[in-house]
Amino acid sequence: MWVHAVSVGESIAAAPMIRALLAQYPQLPITVTCMTPTGSERIKALFANEPRIQHCYLPYDLPWAAGRFLDHVQPRLGIIMETELWPNHIHQ
- Closest Cα partner for 83 from 32, 19, 9, 26? 9
Fold adopted by 2-91:
Rossmann fold (3.40.50)
pLDDT at residue number 82: 77
Question: Of how many residues is the chain composed?
Answer: 92
pTM: 0.86
C-alpha of 66 from chain center = 13
pLDDT at residue number 90: 63
Catalytic residue among 10, 41, 82, 84: 10
Q: pLDDT tens, position by position, for the chain (92 residues)?
A: 999 999 999 999 999 999 999 999 999 999 999 999 999 999 999 999 999 999 999 998 888 998 999 999 999 999 998 766 666 556 66
Side-chain-side CA neighbours of residue 34 (13 Å): 21
* Burial (0-12, 13-18, 19+ Cβ within 10 Å), 88: middle
For this structure, is 10 an active site residue? yes
Report the distance separating Cα 1 and Cα 30, nearest Å.
5
